[in-house]
Amino acid sequence: MCLLAEEILRVLEEEGINLVPYLPCEKIRYLLHLLCSRPSLHPLLLNREEDGVGISGGAYLAGGKPALLIQSSGLGNSLNALLSLSFTYGLPLPILASWRGVHGEKIPAQIPFSRPLPEALRVWGIETHRIERASEVEGIRRAVRSAYSRGRPEVVLLSPALWEEEPEVLPSFPERRRRVKVEYEKTFSPPELTRYEAIKVVAEEVGEEEVLVSNLGFPSRELYQVKDRPLNFYMLGSYTQASAVGLGISLFTRRRVVVLEGDGSVLGSSLLPVLAAEGGENLTVVCLDNGTLGSTGDQLTYSYLRVDLELLALAAGVGTERASSPEELRRALRKKGPCFIHVTVKPGNEEVGLIPLTPEEIRRRFRRAMGVE
């Protein structure tokens, strides 16, 4: 079985895969052990599977060739992102999933979702490939090629039967020692800017060859109104995935990537620790915190009176800046990344229309501007 895991990784390398976001499953622990020793595949540990969809989407937009490696139950966590991002924009993504709930499954909670997966995925038009014997491993190659030729996600279900003779993995742990010192004080004052005005400042400061990724709903619509350009990537769905897409783009370009985030999206995500570990100097997340869910009727979020999002980013290990005025925001945008800029803005939305571009048009012109299509 050692040879099988090696063969799977060899196929991925031969097909040009250069990013593998993953979440562990004990059935594929030896495969993951080998993956983490292959820097050419750039293994990237996730906290939630849907973030892998966003990161992979961003990587493809910038010219990368990702594949996702997760447990089959994680497909349930990823469905909205797969359909509203990968399918909607035509972003290819081969997904290798350890298929739980079937062969010799001993955990009852794994069965209801995972056992009927092929039929369930067919409902959403996601093609599924089953690998149940070592002799079928070339099916992974076909799935990778199919996903990239058709511009869509496809799932490879890896049966637990493949790993029954897998070698035992004996983990080794580096010394866990570090020193952390945080001195932090902050006073929240009434914000000076609306979100629309803050977006104007960011759009003025971002260079013509730099990338802007905007959160779904009104932030994207307001950015389009302020300054439409091919290097703007507008999120039309996939709640919580703007920063994940920005991170994925930043991994495959030297351009600066600036993400226009919202407080609700940050609160709903588990990406900040991943961003701290994987983000580079070219990545800046501008969190436009109006304390409300602006695109759904301005319901208050926890950041309005209780949660400090800058402190949340600091706890995750991300460098931060703060701003509540145009001058402070311009100054904060000069800091190298990975950086989280907490910008307090007034609640409310600008009266702007929908973006008159199809998802395919947004994808095509963005990739052309990036020089990869």
Closest CA to 284 of 239, 324, 329: 329
Which has the higher per-residue pLDDT, 167 or 224? Answer: 224
pLDDT at 213 over 90: yes
Rounded to 5 degrees, what angle do the CA atoms 252, 253, 255 make? Answer: 155
pLDDT at 1 over 60: no
Range 230-254 average pLDDT: 97
Which has the higher per-residue pLDDT, 283 or 104? Answer: 283
Closest CA to 261 of 229, 305, 230, 301: 301
Evaluate the CA torsion angle 192, 197, 202, 207 in order and state its sign.
negative
Closest CA to 246 of 269, 218, 222: 269
Are the C-beta atoms of residues 23 and 97 closer than 8 Å to each other?
A: no
Region 195-369: CATH code: 3.40.50.970
Rounded to 5 degrees, what angle do the CA atoms 120, 238, 25 make? Answer: 55
Q: pLDDT tens for residues 110-151?
A: 999 999 999 999 999 999 999 999 999 999 999 999 999 999
What are the domain boundaries of the chain? 2-163, 195-369
Domains 2-163 and 195-369 share a fold: yes
Q: How far apart are CA 5 and CA 101, in angstroms?
A: 21
Backbone phi and psi for residue 323, each to the nearest 5 degrees, phi listed first: -155, 145
- Compute the half-sphere exposure of residue 191: CA atoms within 13 Å on the CB side of its CA: 23
At 2, the pLDDT band (50, 70, 90 cuts) reads: low
Q: What DSSP string describes 12-48? A: HHHTT--BEEE---GGGHHHHHHHTT-GGG-EEE-SS
So what's the pLDDT on residue 295? 86
Q: How far apart are CA 340 and CA 335, in angstroms?
A: 10
Q: What is the mean pLDDT of the chain?
A: 95
pLDDT at 20 over 50: yes
Lowest mean pLDDT among 71-80, 165-174, 176-185: 165-174
Contacts with 307 (C-beta within 8 Å, 6 or more apart), sequence order: 267, 301
At 294, the pLDDT band (50, 70, 90 cuts) reads: confident
At 164, the pLDDT band (50, 70, 90 cuts) reads: confident
Evaluate the CA torsion angle 187, 189, 192, 198 in order and state its sign.
positive
User: β-pairing, 93-98 with 68-71?
Assistant: parallel
Are the C-beta atoms of residues 322 and 201 closer than 8 Å to each other?
A: no
Q: pLDDT tens for residues 352-367?
A: 999 999 999 999 999 9
Q: How far apart are CA 352 and CA 143, in angstroms?
A: 42
Which CATH superfamily does the domain covering 2-163 fall into? Thiamin diphosphate (ThDP)-binding fold, Pyr/PP domains (3.40.50.970)
So what's the pLDDT on residue 114? 94
